[in-house]
Homo-oligomer: A and B are copies of this chain.
Amino acid sequence: MAGNAARASDPDSFRRAKALVHRIVAERHDRPSLVAEIACEVGAEIIEGVRAPGDDLNSVELSKRFSTSRTPIREALMLLEKEGLVDVPPRKRPRVAVPDLQDIREIYRARAALFELIAADVARSASEEGLERLRSRFAEMQAAHRAGDVNAFVWANVDFYDQNTLLANNRTVKRILDSLLLRTARLRHLSLSQPGRMARSCDDHARLLKAYEDRDATLAAALIRSNHINALAALETYLASVAEQPRG
Most B CB atoms within 10 A — which of A29, A82, A172, A180? A172
Return A235 CB to nearest CB of chain B, in Å: 15
A31 at the interface (CB under 8 A from B): yes
Whether the Cβ atoms of A103 and B172 lie closer than 8 Å is yes
A114 at the interface (CB under 8 A from B): yes
Stretch from A46-54, A104-112, A204-212, A236-244 forming part of the interface with B: A104-112
CA distance A117 to B90 in the complex (A): 32
Whether the Cβ atoms of B106 and A110 lie closer than 8 Å is no
A173 at the interface (CB under 8 A from B): yes
Whether the Cβ atoms of A172 and B90 lie closer than 8 Å is no
CA distance A74 to B28 in the complex (A): 17
Whether the Cβ atoms of B171 and A106 lie closer than 8 Å is yes
A180 contacts across to B, CB distance below 8 A: 172
Whether the Cβ atoms of A106 and B173 lie closer than 8 Å is yes
Which of B89, B103, B116, B171 makes the CB contact (< 8 A) with A113?
Answer: B116
A71 at the interface (CB under 8 A from B): yes
A172 contacts across to B, CB distance below 8 A: 103, 106-107, 110, 180
Q: How many chain A residues have a CB neighbour from B under 8 Å?
A: 27
CA distance A113 to B89 in the complex (A): 31
Whether the Cβ atoms of A110 and B117 lie closer than 8 Å is yes
What 0/1 pattern do residues 64 to 91 of A give for CB contact below 8 A with B?
0000000100110010001000000110
Which of B28, B82, B103 makes the CB contact (< 8 A) with A89?
Answer: B28
A114 contacts across to B, CB distance below 8 A: 110, 113-114
A170 at the interface (CB under 8 A from B): yes
Whether the Cβ atoms of A31 and B109 lie closer than 8 Å is no
Whether the Cβ atoms of A170 and B82 lie closer than 8 Å is no
A199 at the interface (CB under 8 A from B): no
A-B pairs, top 4 by smallest CB distance, nearest first, are A106-B172, A113-B117, A113-B113, A82-B82
9 A–B pairs (Cβ distance < 8 Å), ordered by A? A28-B89, A29-B90, A33-B90, A106-B172, A106-B173, A109-B117, A109-B173, A110-B173, A114-B114
Task: Give the B-binding residues of A (Cβ under 8 A).
Answer: 28-29, 31, 33, 71, 74-75, 78, 82, 89-90, 102-103, 106-107, 109-110, 113-114, 116-117, 170-173, 176, 180
